[in-house]
Amino acid sequence: MSTPNIVLTRIDNRLVHGQVGVVWTSSIGANLLLVANNDAAKSELQQELMAATAETSGVGIRFWTLEKTISTISKASPRQKIFLIIKTPLDALVLVKGGVPIKELNVGNMHHSENKVQLTKKVYADQTDQDAFKELTALGVDVYIQDVPEDKKIPIKDVI
């Protein structure tokens, strides 16, 4: 087993869309999008829509559950430059505690919903999210908010 070449891990509640699939993918040089999400791993419709975006960028895409990501990512080829895309801070925490070597976590988009407070223009978090961010930081993960590559990184500790 080797350490997978994860070039970026991003939280985006939309998972793969134009900004993620095109702008971020090209800026970080990824050649594989790995969507680690239990719902997307089961939804052919979601997969079709996200695969179309990946195809536009000329990169591969996989849809795995969190458990499959934990058990399988260490088998990735060193040639694979993995862009790991997840939906929530809790998902990130599950992956990190499961042994996925996430060194940094880019928080891109977390929509507003009930009981969530605004941290930045596009990031809203409830107490569970904030607790997960704090635990990830305590585990040594560099957690920051950054919508697009040219934006300045905002350390999560500066907003929670």
- Indicate which CATH number applies to the domain containing 35: 3.40.35.10
Q: Which two tokens stand for residue 13?
A: 């509640």
Per-position pLDDT tens, the chain of length 160: 679 999 999 999 999 987 788 899 999 999 999 999 999 999 999 999 999 989 988 999 999 999 999 999 999 999 999 999 999 999 999 999 999 999 999 999 999 999 999 999 999 999 999 999 999 999 999 999 999 999 999 999 999 9
Per the structure, the count of domains in the chain is: 1
Q: In 10 A of CB 103, how many CB atoms?
A: 11
Give the span between the Cα atoms of 5 and 73, in whole angstroms.
Answer: 9
Contacts of 60 (CB under 8 A, 6+ apart): 31, 32, 33, 54
Q: What is the pLDDT of residue 19?
A: 77
Question: Catalytic annotation on 111?
Answer: no
Q: Which two tokens stand for residue 128?
A: 């569970």
Do residues 83 and 32 make contact, with C-beta atoms less than 8 angstroms apart?
A: yes
Type of residue numbered 48? E
Residue 112: domain span:
6-158
Is 1 within the bounds of a domain? no
To which residue do tokens 């505690």 refer? 97
Burial class (CB within 10 angstroms; exposed 0-12, middle 13-18, buried 19+) of 1:
exposed
Is 97 within the bounds of a domain? yes
Backbone angles phi, psi at 11, to 5 degrees: -90, 125
Q: Are strands 60-64 and 104-109 parallel, antiparallel or unpaired?
A: unpaired
Q: What is the pLDDT of residue 155?
A: 98
Is 146 within the bounds of a domain? yes
Is 11 within the bounds of a domain? yes
Give the span between the Cα atoms of 160 and 154, in whole angstroms.
Answer: 11
Q: What is the pLDDT of residue 1?
A: 60
Catalytic member of 5, 13, 14, 17: 17
Total length of the chain: 160
Q: What is the pLDDT of residue 62?
A: 97
Q: In 10 A of CB 88, how many CB atoms?
A: 16
